[in-house]
């Protein structure tokens, strides 16, 4: 038997591939159902944003009234897309980093279906008029125990894998992801028990809800995104993390600062006076972990310009990190008590800030992760670089528009609100042009995610490209006799095409 | 057909190269992955630390607005007193020149009480209601004018003509000194009358007092009484017609 | 860093904030006590613990389920946190008909009967802390406040001055039914057919009752009275 020894799979590669095989069902499920929820959420977002400037749109449908469609949009974005994308990334990353195959794929998959059921019933509950009226917790009260249970059944295995990992060094991503796995149930349980099961002072309940909003974003979505980015950037570029010390600073600053944030939404309300300002200070300080992490990873990737241009994973991840920088900057600018906080407290800025974090950072990193992970678990490559490019550019344009318009427009709106000697229509009218821009931006984002969803579904149906060469954004095989789509080598190595492809370098 | 026990995992039908190829293709994605490395020991840029220091300082300032931390007992800032609205010193009417302020007040009273008879142009109708425009009694000494307004008039006016047997009804019932001052100032400075002075609130108070002390208090005055007893100005300090006053209280007000 | 130290660090950093910012204030504020009034400082004896009239609990549920809190707030901020108090009719009435300015900040006793204070997410519409007062004294002066609110919920862009309002029309809170005998007193002045009338459902009635209970401009004890001391007027 002739063996091309240069093509013998590394022992590592076999381990990696077997891990990927073991959790292909749950991870693919989370990514695909998450993407479906993303599409639903964006459609709901377009409808609700349209109602901001054209309130007669769909006015005859009780289920589509703004007060129901907007919470449905946000909750679908967070629990439908955000959480499930996070679960997919968490499971895969923890398994890979612990070098352990997943043995509970069936349980995780069932729990994932349970999560989807909970979210679906919750969204239907909101739209049918049974929302609880607590921002980001509008699911009717039956939903949270279901979601908490399925969460536990999904991530407990990753914690087990972590505990039985091979002795040795723990990688940076694992700190962020293990921490996120511990923080989420703590935050979720606290808020839901205190608000649903116990009776407290109504204004303090509103305060705890504001804390919950901030904590979910800063202590679940942010660390999962950061942990994923810390994995993807060195993996794809092949360069080590720029500075280990900076990574430690990034992690511990997030852990120490973020739990204090959130109450700034209640500045001026009758809760203990210092709480909102403590929250505002903590939100300002979030710029520290945000900038630290982004600087670290952007510096890591900076010397690999060509790889960045070629790799869809890197492009999305680095765009997400730029979003993180903007998020950190916005956190400082929007929360200054004497100047900007009174303006932004009750304006579009809050929405823009949330979307910047959830979509501008977290979703972009998740897209990067999906473009990396899915080929590995389906053993197919992405079909079309054009679809990937469309997804990237349209999403980037869209989210930058939403974020900048909402942040800036919110300030303008706030200025109008503070002009107490004018009638209220002056303040209300200021928001209209920005609302229109946000509707258009969400339409662009929907368009981009339609491409993404189509592409992902084709991969899910095992219709991807069979190849040992990844789909890159730039065609590396200009001179390939097989045309610009690159080589397809079903025949395997030992054929001339495979040899030349191997020589073109590993990506 | 080979005995499976003899060759447990390698069969003639298996093409080793193809199998290896399949496996290597399936693991190709994993195979081409790089190792993770976190041992970059690059020094951190000073610029980053500067930016982080700025963030820390800003956050410290924000925290300063929080007052004493962990003071759970109070929901409001310590020592909080409502700050007046910016420009609030100007909320409410702006101070006006005394003449304009008094006249403005008077014009409201004129519309309410006087123009029904004397006409909106104060020219009367020639037969029943005398003209105030150019009237000698309106433009002359203020006490005389005040007595007419407060008590009404019976008999001939300053021109000698009699307008109606009943004469003018008294207007002083329930009239506040500010109102009397306003109406007197208004008539003396409008409708073509240009006396140019202000009948002050103090003068009006004196007029009301005098009116109450009349021998025929409660009855209309007549030309004889007016010329005999009241042909003088009301006592009181004169007011500079350009002095700024609050239009509501007519008290002197500083410019804002 | 060992796993044990890592866990310790996570637990310590989170539980410190969790305890001080979430748990402790929650339990402390649970049992808020009424303020004791004394003759000397407050002008009368007794307790300050305002009650609200109206179907607060049911109405608050309708308010929450229909997302009113997304566009309307219910907090009048003190002057160091915003300009809410300077508006003529948000914190109360600048002139309540007797020349008295009743405007004040929101205090901790203003949300009686509600489980969750709908402080609000954004202000696309005006603040509603004193909506009840505003409707009775200004919008529906001399007329039925309930009718005004029903009209507003059914057709927010009806009045000329509200043509540009972005408030959704809550038609689903009303139902069209046959006229039985005389028109119902609650019937709205919009109708489609001759023998039909539009009446509010119980949800609409609860909501309107709740909205009319929003009157947070009562006199407060000296401890909560932040008005500047009256200066002696000269002259």
Q: What is the pLDDT of residue B9?
A: 60
Q: Could you report the per-residue pLDDT of C110-144, keeping only the tens digit for each?
A: 998 899 999 999 999 999 999 999 999 888 888 89
Residues of chain A with pLDDT under 50: 1-8, 484, 486, 490-507
Task: Report, as an integer, the average pLDDT of B52-74.
Answer: 91
Q: What is the pLDDT of residue B71?
A: 87
A-chain residue closest to B10, CA distance: A1
CA atoms within 13 A on the CB side of B155: 11
Whether the CB-CB separation of A442 and A351 falls below 8 Å is answered with no
Q: Which residues contact C111 (CB under 8 A, 6 or more apart)?
A: A202, A203, C74, C117
Burial (CB count within 10 angstroms: exposed 0-12, middle 13-18, buried 19+), residue C73:
buried
Q: How many angstroms away from the CA of B179 is the closest CA of chain C? A: 18
Q: How many angstroms away from the CA of A141 is the closest CA of chain C? A: 12
Angle among Cα B240, B241, B242 to the nearest 5 degrees reads 90
pLDDT, greater one: B61 or B88 = B61
pLDDT confidence of B6, banded at 50, 70, 90? Answer: low
Q: What is the pLDDT of residue B73?
A: 86
Q: How many angstroms away from the CA of B3 is the closest CA of chain A? A: 21
pLDDT, greater one: B188 or C228 = B188
Whether the CB-CB separation of A29 and A154 falls below 8 Å is answered with no
Q: Which of residues 77-106 of B touch A (CB under 8 A)?
A: 77-78, 85
Q: What is the pLDDT of residue B221?
A: 87
Pairing relation of β-strands B96-97 and B244-245? antiparallel
Least CB–CB distance from C108: residue in B72, B75, B77: B75
Q: Which of residues 30-59 of B touch A (CB under 8 A)?
A: 30-45, 48, 51-52, 55-56, 58-59
Least CB–CB distance from B72: residue in C25, C86, C228: C25
Residues in B closer than 8 angstroms to C235, CB to CB, are: 251-252
CA distances A85 to A135, C55, C124, Å, are 21, 43, 32
Cβ <8 Å between B251 and C235:
yes
Look at the alpha carbons of A119, A121, A126, A131 in this order and tell me if their dihedral is positive or negative.
Answer: negative
User: Where are any strands of DSSP class E within A228-289?
Assistant: none
Q: Could you report the per-residue pLDDT of B75-123, keeping only the tens digit for each?
A: 898 888 888 887 755 455 556 678 877 887 787 678 778 877 888 778 8
ipTM for this prediction: 0.94
Question: What is the C-alpha to C-alpha distance for residues A507 and A495, in angstroms, rounded to an integer?
Answer: 20
Question: What is the C-alpha to C-alpha distance for residues B176 and B134, in angstroms, rounded to an integer?
Answer: 26
Least CB–CB distance from A507: residue in B32, B38, B71: B32
Q: Which CATH class is domain C49-224?
A: mainly alpha
Chains with 3 or more CB pairs closer than 8 angstroms to B?
A: A, C
Cβ <8 Å between A431 and C66:
no
Residues in B closer than 8 angstroms to C20, CB to CB, are: 70
Residues in B closer than 8 angstroms to C80, CB to CB, are: 77, 80, 83
Task: Report, as an integer, the average pLDDT of B3-14.
Answer: 57
Q: What is the DSSP letter of A133?
A: -
Q: How many angstroms away from the CA of A415 is the closest CA of chain C? A: 10
Q: How many angstroms away from the CA of A34 is the closest CA of chain C? A: 25
pLDDT, greater one: B11 or B214 = B214
For residue A449 the two structure tokens come to 């995610």
Q: Which of residues 129-188 of A touch C (CB under 8 A)?
A: 129-135, 170, 175, 178-179, 182-183, 186
Q: Mean of the per-residue pLDDT values for chain C?
A: 88
Q: Could you report the per-residue pLDDT of A116-128, keeping only the tens digit for each?
A: 999 999 999 999 9
Cβ <8 Å between C77 and A342:
yes
Least CB–CB distance from C117: residue in A62, A170, A203: A203
Q: What is the pLDDT of residue B2?
A: 47
């Amino acid at each position: 038997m002739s063996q091309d020894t240069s093509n013998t799979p590394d022992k590592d590669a076999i381990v990696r591939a077997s891990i990927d095989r073991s959790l292909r069902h749950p991870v693919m499920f989370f990514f695909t159902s998450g993407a479906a929820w993303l599409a639903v959420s964006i459609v709901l977002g377009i409808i609700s944003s349209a109602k901001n400037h054209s309130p007669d749109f769909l006015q005859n449908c009780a289920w589509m009234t703004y007060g129901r469609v907007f919470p449905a949009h946000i909750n679908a974005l967070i629990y439908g897309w955000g959480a499930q994308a996070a679960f997919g990334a968490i499971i895969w990353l923890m398994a890979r980093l612990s070098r352990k195959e997943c043995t509970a794929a069936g349980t995780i998959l069932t729990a994932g279906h349970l999560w989807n059921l909970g979210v679906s019933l919750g969204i239907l509950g909101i739209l049918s008029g049974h929302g609880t009226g607590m921002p980001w917790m509008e699911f009717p009260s039956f939903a949270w125990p279901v979601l908490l249970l399925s969460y536990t059944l999904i991530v407990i295995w990753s914690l087990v894998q972590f505990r039985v990992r091979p002795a040795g060094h723990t990688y940076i991503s694992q700190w962020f992801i293990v921490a996120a796995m511990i923080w989420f149930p703590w935050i979720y349980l606290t808020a839901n028990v205190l608000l649903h099961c116990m009776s407290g002072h109504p204004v303090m309940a509103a305060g705890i809800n504001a804390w919950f909003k901030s904590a979910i974003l800063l202590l679940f979505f942010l660390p999962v995104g950061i942990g994923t980015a810390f994995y993807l950037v060195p993996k794809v570029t092949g360069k080590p993390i720029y500075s280990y010390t900076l990574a430690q600073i990034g992690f511990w600053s997030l852990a120490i600062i973020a739990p204090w944030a959130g109450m700034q939404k209640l500045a001026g309300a009758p809760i203990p006076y210092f709480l909102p300002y403590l929250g505002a200070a903590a939100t300002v300080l979030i710029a520290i972990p945000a900038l630290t992490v982004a600087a670290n990873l952007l510096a890591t990737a900076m010397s690999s310009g060509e790889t960045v241009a070629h790799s869809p994973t890197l492009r999305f991840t680095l765009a997400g990190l730029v979003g993180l920088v903007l998020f950190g900057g916005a956190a400082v600018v929007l929360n200054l008590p004497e100047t900007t906080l009174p303006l932004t407290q009750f304006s579009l800025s809050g929405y823009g800030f949330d979307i910047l974090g959830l979509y501008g950072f977290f979703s972009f990193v998740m897209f990067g992760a999906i473009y990396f992970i899915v080929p590995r678990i389906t053993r197919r490559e992405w079909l079309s670089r054009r679809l990937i490019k469309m997804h990237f550019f349209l999403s980037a344009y869209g989210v930058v528009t939403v974020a900048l318009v909402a942040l800036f427009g919110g300030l303008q709106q706030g200025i109008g609100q503070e002009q107490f000697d004018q009638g209220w229509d002056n303040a209300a009218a200021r928001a209209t042009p920005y609302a229109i821009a946000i509707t258009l931006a969400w339409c662009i984002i929907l368009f981009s995610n339609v491409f993404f969803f189509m592409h992902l579904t084709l991969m899910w149906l095992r219709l991807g490209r069979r190849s040992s060469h990844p789909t890159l954004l730039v065609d590396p095989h200009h001179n390939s006799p097989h045309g610009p789509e690159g080589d397809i080598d079903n025949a395997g190595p030992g054929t001339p095409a495979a040899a030349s492809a191997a020589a073109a370098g590993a990506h | 057909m080979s005995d499976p026990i003899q060759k447990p995992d390698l069969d003639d039908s298996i093409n080793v190269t193809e199998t290896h190829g399949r496996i290597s293709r399936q693991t190709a994605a994993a195979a081409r992955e790089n190792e993770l490395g976190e041992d970059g020991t690059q020094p951190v840029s000073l610029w980053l630390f500067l930016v982080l220091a700025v963030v820390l300082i800003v956050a410290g300032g924000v925290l300063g607005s929080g007052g004493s931390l962990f003071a759970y007992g109070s929901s409001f800032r310590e020592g909080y007193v409502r700050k007046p609205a910016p420009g609030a010193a100007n909320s409410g009417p702006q101070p006006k020149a005394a003449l304009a302020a008094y006249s403005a007040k008077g014009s409201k009273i004129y519309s309410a009480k006087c123009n029904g008879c004397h006409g909106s142009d104060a020219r009367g109708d020639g037969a029943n209601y005398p003209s105030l425009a150019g009237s000698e009694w309106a433009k002359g000494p203020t006490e005389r004018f005040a007595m007419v307004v407060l008590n009404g008039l019976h008999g001939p006016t300053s021109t000698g003509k009699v307008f109606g047997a009943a004469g003018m009804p008294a207007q002083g019932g329930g009239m506040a000194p500010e109102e009397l001052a306003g109406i007197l100032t208004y008539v003396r400075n409008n409708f073509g009358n240009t006396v140019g002075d202000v009948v002050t609130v103090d003068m009006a108070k004196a007029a009301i007092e005098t009116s109450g002390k009349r021998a025929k208090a409660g009855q209309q005055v007549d030309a004889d009484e007016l010329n005999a007893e009241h042909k003088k100005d009301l006592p009181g300090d004169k007011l500079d017609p350009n002095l700024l006053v609050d239009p509501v209280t007519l008290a002197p007000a500083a410019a804002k | 860093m060992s796993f044990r130290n890592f866990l310790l660090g996570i637990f310590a950093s989170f539980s410190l904030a969790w305890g001080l910012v979430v748990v402790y204030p929650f339990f402390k504020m649970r049992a808020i006590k009424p303020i004791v009034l004394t003759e000397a400082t407050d002008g009368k004896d007794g307790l300050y613990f305002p009650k609200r009239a109206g179907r607060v609990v049911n109405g608050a549920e309708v308010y929450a389920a229909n997302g009113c809190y997304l566009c309307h707030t219910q907090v009048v901020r003190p002057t160091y946190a915003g300009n809410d108090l300077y508006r003529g009719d948000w914190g109360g009435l600048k002139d309540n008909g007797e020349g008295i300015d009743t405007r004040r900040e929101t205090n901790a006793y203003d949300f009686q009967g509600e489980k969750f204070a709908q402080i609000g997410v954004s202000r696309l519409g005006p603040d509603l802390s004193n909506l009840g007062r505003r409707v009775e004294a200004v919008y529906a002066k001399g007329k039925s406040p309930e009718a005004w609110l029903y009209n507003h919920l059914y057709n927010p862009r009806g009045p000329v001055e509200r043509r540009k309002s972005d408030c959704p029309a809550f038609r689903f809170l009303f139902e069209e039914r046959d006229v039985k005998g005389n028109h119902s007193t609650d019937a709205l002045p919009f109708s489609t057919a001759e023998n039909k009338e539009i009446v509010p459902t119980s949800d609409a009635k609860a909501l309107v009752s709740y909205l009319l209970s929003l009157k947070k401009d009562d006199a407060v004890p000296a401890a909560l009275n932040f008005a500047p001391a009256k200066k002696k007027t000269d002259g």
